[in-house]
Structure 1
Amino acid sequence: MKQLLMLLALVAPAFAQDAKPEFKSRPLFNGKDLTGWHGEGYVVEDGAIACTPQGRNLVTDDTFADYILDFEFKLTPGANNGIGIHYPGTGDSAYVGMEVQVLDSTDPKYKDLKPYQFHGSLYTLVPAKQGLLKPVGEWNKERIVVDGPNVRVEVNGEVALRANLDELNKQFPKHEGAKRRGGHLAFLGHGDRVLFRNLNITELPPGANSAGAAGAGFTRIFDGKTLTGWKTEKDGDESWVPINGILKHIGTAKNPSQLWTEKEYGDFTMVFDWRWNGTGPKMQRPIILPDGTEKKGADGKSETVEVQELDSGVYVRGNSKSQVNLWNWPVGSGEVYGYRTDGSQSAEVRAGVTPKEKADHVLGEWNRTLITVKGDRLTVIVNDKKVIDKAQLPGMPAKGKIALQHHGASIDFANIWIRDL
C-alpha cells in the first residue's frame, strides 16, 4: 500500500493540462415520447414532459455521476415536484438519493415551510436562495451541476445553491443519499401539474480524481475525444463512443466488439476510471470463497445471490484468459475468471486470482483501478484496495495488446493512462 500511495502522490490531474475543455451535451428527452425513462403518471404534451395527477417518480434508465443538467420548467399555482439526483432506483428518493426541490415558493400555502423545502433547495439538507423564479405560468431555466462532491443549482441564470457533499456527510451522517456519488436522475411528482422541456445533459469525466503523467512516466492512451490508438475487432462497430473525456460503451449499439490498443505492452501499470452507466437484468450469481471455489449449500449446490448482471473487463497482453474482470458479481472486480475457473491450475493460482474483497463502489459511481503486470504476476487495486496481490498467471504471453471488453453492459471509461515498467 505504501507503493500505491507514492504512485498516487506522483500523478497529477489529467485535465489540469487542458485549457478550457469543450464539453458536448446531448438530449435527455427526445420531445416526442418517454424513451429512456420509466415511471408512472407522466405524459408528453407539445414537446414537454407533464406531470399528471397520478405523477410520482419518473426515472432515467441510465445512471449519471458527474454532469451538467440543463432544463426548463413551468409551474402551476401551488405545484410541487422535485429533481432526484444520485437515486439508486428504489426507495424514497429524497433520502436514498437527494432531491432538488421544484416548488411554487410564492404560494401562500407554503409560507410556513422550512427553508430547505423551498425551490432549488436540497431537501432536508441545504436551503437555496429565493426570489429567482419567474411568475407562475412562465418558463424558467435551471441548471444542476454535479462535480464529484460539489453540487450547484442555478435558477434563471443566478446561483441559488452551492453544496459540498463531503461536508454534508459530516453534518448529516444518517443521510444515505449524501454519501452517494452517482445514480439515476428522476422527476419526483406529487400529482401537481408541472411541465419540463429542453432537457440536456453534459456528462463530465471524474476530473478531481484523474491520473496524469507529470513526473511519473505515464502516457495517456485515450485522448478523451477520439479512438486514436485503438481499434475495434469488427468493422462498423458503433458501440464505443468518445465524448467529453469519457469513452462510453453503448451496450445496445450496432455490431459491438472488443476495443484493442494498437500498441503491444509487456510489463506495465495501467490506471483508469470506470463506472456502470446503465442497469442490467437480475440474475443469480455464485458466492466465491477465498480459495476461488464456489460456496456450496447442504444440498451440494452452489449458493447464489441475486445481482444486476453487469460484466466487462480488461484483457492484458492480448489474451482473453488473462482478463481482469469488471463486474457486479459477489466476488467483486479484479478477478481473473479464466484462471480461477481453470481446474488444471494449482490451488495457489486459483486462490491468487480471487479478490480479497469486493472493493467496487455502488452502481453508477466512478471506480479507480490500477492493473500492474510484471513477468507472469498480476496486481490489481480497486478504489485504493489491493484485491489481487502478485497473482501468478502461468502461460500468459510476455507481450500483447490491451482490450476493453464488450459483454453487453453499458459502461464508461475515463482517464486511461499507462506506464511501461
Structure 2
Amino acid sequence: MKNCFVLLASVLLFISCAESQKDDTPWKKLFDEESLDGWSTKGGEAPYRVENSAIIGATVYNTPNTFLITDEDYEDFILELDFKVHPSMNSGIQFRSNSFDGYMDGRVHGYQAEIDPSERAWSGGIYDEARRGWLVDLDENPEAQGAFKQNEWNSYRIEAIGDTIKTWINGVPAAHLIDDKTAKGFIALQVHSIGEDAEEGTEVMWKNIRILTEDLDKYSTESPLEPVQTKNKLTAAEENNGWELLWDGETTEGWRGARLDEFPEEGWKIEDGVLTVLASGGGESEAGGDIVTKELYGDFELKVDFKITEGANSGIKYFVDTDLNKGPGSSIGLEYQILDDERHPDAKLGNHEGSRTMASLYDLIRADPDKPVNPVGEWNTARIVSKGNKVEHWLNGEKVLEYERKNEEYRELVAESKYVDWPNFGEAEEGHILLQDHGNEVSFKNIKIKSE
C-alpha cells in the first residue's frame, strides 16, 4: 500500500510539473498544416504546395521572385517559424511588406529576414526588398553566421514592435534594427528567381508558422546586439551607389539661410534627428526664412522624408538662385510642392489646374491625382531626379510627374505662371537645394543626394 501511495504521489507531481511548464502564450497559427487557406501568391509563378504539415516552394525558370503572402496585414507582432532550404537557394521571409499597383508595377517590397545558405551565411540579416537593399548584414556577427544548420530545419524568431525589429536564428541573436520606414504589411514566404545555371525545382520549406499580436511587451525578448539606426544614415547599398547625406541629422552643417551667410537663429529646430520649420502664421519666409544648401547641384537625385501638419504648406526647391528675389517671399527656383491638399486653399489655385497640389511642379505641372499620399502626421518620401534637362518627381516610391526643362513646351508653361516675370526661370545649369519656410510646421529627415 505504501508503494502505491508513493507511485500516486510521483504521478501527481509529474502532472503538476507538466502543467506548470505548459506554454500559455496566446500564439495564433498562420498555417493550418493542411492547406494554403489564408495565403495567396504574388510576383512570379513558382509553385507552392503543402506536404507533411509543411509549405514547400520550388524554383522555376524565367519568372521573377515569387511570394506566398498572408491575406491579412500585420503591424506589431512576434513571429516564429521553422525553415529548411536547399544549399543552392536564396530565400527569405517578408514582413511589413506591401504590393501597390503604382510601385514598380505591383512588385512586393518591404522588410525581409534573409535565408542565405551560401558561404556568406547572412541568414537572419534584414534586407529591404525592392527598396533600400541591405539594412543589417551579418558581417559583424559571426555567432549568428555559425548558427545556421545546412540541410536541416532552422528556427526563426522575428520581433517587430514599433520602430524596433529583432531577429534570432536557432536562438542566436542575428539582427537588431531601429527603422520606421513601414509600420504595417503582409507576411510572405519567398521563392527567389533563378538563372539558367541553377537547377529548377530546388525547394525551400516552412512549418510551425505562428504569430503573436497581443501583450507583446510581456513576451518580447531583449537582444544583446547594438541596434543599427537608419535615421539620417546611409545604407550599405546607398554608400556603394554614391549617395551622400545632405543633412547629418544633428547640426546645421552644409546649410544656411537663403538670405543669410549662416543658418537662421530662429524659426527652425533640430530635435531627435528631425529638422522642423516652426509654425509662424502661414506667411512665406516671414519667420526663420528658407534654408538652402551651401553647395550647388546640377545633375542629381534627391531623397527627402517629410511630414506635414494639418493645413500645412511648404516645398523643396531646386536650381535655386538666392541672388534673385531680394524682396518679400521665397527664393526663386523650381519647386516640389508640399501641401495638405485637403485643407490648404492653394490646392485649388494656380494658373494650371491642380499644379499647386502635393508633389506637383509648383504652378506649372500637376502631379498624378492618384498619387500615394500618407495621412497628415505620417512620413512621406519625396524623390527628385534631375539629369540633363529631364526631371522626375516621385512620391512614396511612385513617379508622379516628369518634364523637360528649356524646351518650348516648358517655356509656354512658365509664360502662363507666376514665374513669367523671372527671365530664364528654372533654366540654370546648377543651383541650391532649398527647404521652404511657409509659416507652417513641416518636418524633414533622411535628406540624401547623389550628384553627378
Same fold (TM over 0.5): no
Between 1 and 2, higher relative CO (CA 8 Å, sep ≥ 6) is seen in: 1
Higher Cα radius of gyration? 2
* TM-score, reference length from structure 2: 0.39
